[in-house]
Structure 1
Amino acid sequence: MLVVDNLTRRYGARHAVDGVSLRIEPGSFVGVIGRSGAGKSTLLRMINRLADPTGGRILYDGIDVTGLKGAALRGWRARCAMIFQQFNLVGRLDVMTNVLMGRLHQVPSYRSLLKLWPEEDRALALAALESFDMGGFAASRADQLSGGQQQRVAIARALVQEPEIILADEPVASLDPRNTRLVMDALAHANRAYGITVLCNLHSLDLARAYCDRLVGLSAGRVVFDGRGFDLTEDVARTLYGLEAGEVMDRAPPEPLPGRVPARAAEALSA
């Protein structure tokens, strides 16, 4: 279990995250919602230790993540993969090599520099790409792909780390509606098929309701809502979204692409 205990991050006098406490069950799909500047990205970056907390603790299965350094910290980042809004792929390299970078923690540096990847790792990377309909692009340069394709490659790269947690920081912010659904379906697949815990920052409440088992709403760095999407009241939505609240409360959840079922709907069908 991932435990965030009174986590705080200050920048001067401003609190980006202010005393956040959460318990995240293994295998859950949690959406972190709120406006830009609410503290969503800072929270995920602290969990991954890309930013250090000013106060509080992060615990995972009894390990104090906030105290990790050196090899232990690199090991945590391998177990807790990060997906960014801007993909963070190396554009001049082919898709397969970008995905194999998720195995860097398992391979000696000289082998990765010389591209002497083990055959097992290549098979794992190709399987990850195939699971997101990207196997045919393995030899393509990453910068030749669309935004949605690049983000699916980034998810495949995270998957080959064999993580226990995926942190997705606004993964669909720059995508069109079709690619948004493809990327969210890819995250839902990683969650359902492999039991990976997913924490996903989202601005859109309709997306969060469609894909997430649980929503955590942040406003000014504080948790103002923690529950299921349809329990979120209009008053809380106003706190989260301000003048945008009416719009996000009125919109229906998006339909999944044909042949793909969001996590919550899949659970209902299997019940």
Structure 2
Amino acid sequence: MLVVEDLTRRYGNRHAVDRISLRIERGSFVGVIGRSGAGKSTFLRMLNRLAEPSDGRILFEGTDVTALRGRALRRWRARCAMIFQQFNLVGRLDVLTNVLMGRLSRTPSHRALLKLWSPQERALALAALEGFDMGAFAGNRADQLSGGQQQRVAIARALVQEPDLILADEPVASLDPRNTKLVMDALADANKRLGITVLCNLHSLDLARAYCDRLIGLADGRVVFDGRAFDLTEDVAQRLYGLEAGEVMDRQTPSDRPLATAAALVA
């Protein structure tokens, strides 16, 4: 279980994240929603320790993540894979090598620098690509792929880390509806087939409703909604997004996944 206790991030006098406390069950698919500037990206980056908390604690299975340093912190980042909106692939390298970069924390530096990947590592990376129908592109340069293809490669790279959690920061923000569905389906597959806990920042409420077991709504760095998809009403959306609520409830991306029921609005 992932436990967050009074997690806070301050920039001067401004609170980007303000005393968030949550418990995330293993195997959950959690959507983090809210308008731009609500604190979603800062929250996820603190979980991976790419941003340092000003106050509060992050606990995972009894380990105080906020206290980790050096090698222990690097091991945590391997267990807590990040997927970014910008893909973060090396365009001049082939797809398979980009995926193998996910093994850096488990591979001696000299072997990684010389690209001396073992047959087992190559098989693992290729299997991850095949799982997202990207095996045929293993030899292509990453910068020759479409945005949706690059994001699926980024997810495959995250999977070869063999993580306990995947943190996806607006992974479909720059994608068209077709590629959006492909990428969200890939994350859902990692969650359901492999049992990996997924926390995913999303702008579209309809995507969040369609894919997530639980939704956490942030406004001004605070949790204002924590519950199930069906209880995310238009009134709650107004509280989260204000005048932008109609725009984000676009209903453009359907899914066959069943929607969950019951929720609680945080006062």
**What TM-score, normalized to structure 1?**
0.93
Residue matched to 1:225: 225
Q: Which amino acid aligns with 1:90?
A: V
Where has structure 1 moved over 6 Å in runs of 4 or more?
none
Corresponding position: 1:137 with 2:137: yes
1:53-202 residue pairs with structure 2 within 5 A?
53-202=53-202
Corresponding position: 1:254 with 2:230: no
Q: Which amino acid aligns with 2:253?
A: P
Q: Matched residues in 1 for 2:253 and 2:175: separation? A: 14
Q: Which amino acid aligns with 1:174?
A: S
Q: Secondary structure at the match of 1:115?
A: coil
1:265 Cα shift? 6.0
Q: Matched residues in 1 for 2:133 and 2:14: separation? A: 43
Confirm or deny: 8 A CA contact 2:19 2:222 kept in the other structure: yes
Q: Matched residues in 2 for 1:152 and 1:19: separation? A: 33
Q: Which amino acid aligns with 2:84?
A: F
Q: Which amino acid aligns with 2:51?
A: A
Residue matched to 1:203: 203
Q: Matched residues in 1 for 2:252 and 2:179: separation? A: 16
Confirm or deny: 8 A CA contact 2:177 2:253 kept in the other structure: no
Residue matched to 1:269: none
Q: Matched residues in 2 for 1:45 and 1:248: separation? A: 23
Confirm or deny: 8 A CA contact 1:170 1:203 kept in the other structure: yes
Confirm or deny: 8 A CA contact 1:152 1:186 kept in the other structure: yes
Give ranges in structure 1 of 5+ residues lacking alignment.
267-271
RMSD over equivalenced CA pairs, Å: 1.3
Residue matched to 1:49: 49
Q: Which amino acid aligns with 1:219?
A: A
What per-residue deviation string (whole Å, max 9, x for no partner) do you get for residues 204-252 of structure 1?
A: 1000000000000000000000001111233321121111223444x44
Residue matched to 1:35: 35
1:253 Cα shift? 6.6
1:175 Cα shift? 0.4
**What TM-score, normalized to structure 2?**
0.95
Confirm or deny: 8 A CA contact 1:28 1:198 kept in the other structure: yes
Confirm or deny: 8 A CA contact 1:216 1:226 kept in the other structure: yes
Give ranges in structure 2 of 5+ residues lacking alignment.
261-267
Q: Matched residues in 1 for 2:81 and 2:115: separation? A: 22
Residue matched to 1:10: 10
Confirm or deny: 8 A CA contact 2:209 2:259 kept in the other structure: no
Note closer, same or farther for the CA distance 1:197–1:253 as it changes in structure 2 (3 Å cut).
farther
What per-residue deviation string (whole Å, max 9, x for no partner) do you get for residues 31-59 of structure 1?
A: 00001100000000000000000000000
Count of residues paired in the alignment:
260
